[in-house]
Amino acid sequence: MVFFRNFKSILIVSLLLGPSFIISDTSPELAVPGQPETAKLFILDASGSMNEYLGIYQKVHLAKKYVRHYVDKLPEETEVGFIAYGNRLPGCQSSRLYQPLEKGNRPGFQNKLFGLTPSGATPLAESIRIAGDYIIRRKSPTDLILVTDGIESCYGNPEKELQVLQQKGINFKMHIFGLGLKPDEKRVMQSLAKTGNGRYYNVGEDSDFFLAMEDLLKQEPIPKRTEIDPEKRRPKIRIAGIEKNQTDSEENFYRVKFIFENSDSDNQCVILNLKRRSSASSKIQNWNPQRAAEPERVERTEQICFHARKGEGEFQISAPAHLPLNLELELWDTKGIPSSVDKSGEKNLTE
């Protein structure tokens, strides 16, 4: 097991987009898989403007990050795929099916998603038409999920294309995530989502995207996985023990031992958060249940990184003897775009 302590800050700086027409770059025929639950077919904006920033992150990075987040939360039985437009291709005929609708191929979906590189125009109407031509052969319900930072730029009529699909009797809904849209653009996309019997989400920053994806997951009739009782669930990161040695009357020295296991990645980091103890239970909802709660209480952080799917380790820290402190560990998957996968829960450091 190899680990290193100097993990550069967990900033998420990877990006979204890759090629486009209705030919998959894996070159299979557009075969119609078996009858699934409601499938999820993304239409991803890989136009040049996705290189621009929304807050401190590039739009393309945010799109990749939260599409992956959404897909990771779906049951394995759900078929997922994506169409993208732009992606290094100029002109108004750049829409391509990069990942056919499949179940169980999450690594393949992710690899193609991360390969997208923004460039080109925004042919929304063409993308909707191509999506319709694909899903009409499946005869099963499909959700189209459009992630875009702009409206049609190729003189097409996306709303008319949706109406054509409905007239053909295709069983679909279309949800839209609008990244940093201007007020008039927002109104256009709200109308488009309404025509598609779907939801519109306005994304102005990172946290908006997270909350929007979580809302869509909650609202959609997605078959729930068999959840293990949280009290019985085996955590991916846990505190195995805390040893305290008093070095003097002012300071204590601690050895914090931990165990981690995450079969989804062989590149991960364990983050220790040393936190002021809360005087009362907080009523603020944690925006991400896999992150440490109430980050404003964090006094210090340390990290150890591993090239392994499971293992154990130890933090050695010192802290003032009379300061009431808690600690909490987070496990981060650092393969591709870093993302938090679990936390240990808080422990009283002085217990």
**Residue 323: domain span:** 237-278+288-348
Look at 82 and 294; give whichever has higher pLDDT: 82
pLDDT of residue 221: 56
For residue 294, give the CATH number of its domain.
2.60.40.10
pLDDT at 350: 67
| Beta strands 200-203 and 172-179, pairing class | parallel
| 3 state DSSP class of 126 | helix
Average pLDDT, the chain: 82
pLDDT at residue 251 above 50? yes
pLDDT band at 138 (very low <50, low <70, confident <90, very high): confident
pLDDT for the residue numbered 283:
46
For residues 330 and 304, the answer to whether their CB atoms sit within 8 Å is: no
The pLDDT, as a whole number, for residue 13 is 33
Angle, to 10 degrees, between the axis of helix 124-135 and the axis of helix 158-167?
Answer: 20
In a domain, 5, yes or no: no
Same domain for 324 and 198 = no
Predicted pLDDT at 2? 37
Do 187 and 324 fall into the same domain? no
pLDDT of residue 288: 53
Residue 20 included in any domain? no
Flag whether pLDDT at 296 surpasses 50. yes
Digit-coded pLDDT (tens) for 172-205: 999 999 999 999 999 999 999 999 999 999 999 9
Residues 158 and 262 in one domain: no
Highest mean pLDDT among 7-11, 35-39, 110-114, 135-139: 110-114
The 10s digit of each residue's pLDDT in 5-26 is: 343 343 333 333 333 333 333 3
Q: Under a CB-based contact definition with an 8 Å cutoff, are residues 169 and 137 in contact?
A: no
**Mean of pLDDT values over 106-132:** 93
Please report whether residue 164 resides in a domain. Answer: yes
Residue 3 covered by a domain: no
CA dist 329 → 47, 97, 258, 263, 320 (Å): 39, 40, 9, 18, 20
Q: Could you tell me the pTM of the whole model? A: 0.57
* 251 and 212 housed in the same domain: no
Task: Answer whether residue 256 is part of any domain.
Answer: yes
State the pLDDT at residue 15.
31
pLDDT in tens, 152-178: 999 999 999 999 999 998 999 999 999
Q: Which of 189, 218, 247 is at the close of a domain?
A: 218
* pLDDT (average), residues 25-50: 68
**Residue 268 domain-assigned (yes or no):** yes
* Paired tokens of 15: 């990006």
Residues 71 and 120 in one domain: yes
- Mean pLDDT, residues 45-61: 94
Q: What is the average per-residue pLDDT within 279-305?
A: 67
Tell whether the model's pLDDT for residue 297 goes beyond 70. yes
Mean pLDDT of all residues in 282-298? 60
Q: How many independent structural domains does the chain possess?
A: 2
- Let me know if residue 269 belongs to a domain: yes
Is residue 37 classed exposed, middle or buried when 0-12, 13-18 and 19+ CB atoms within 10 A define those classes?
middle
148: in domain: yes
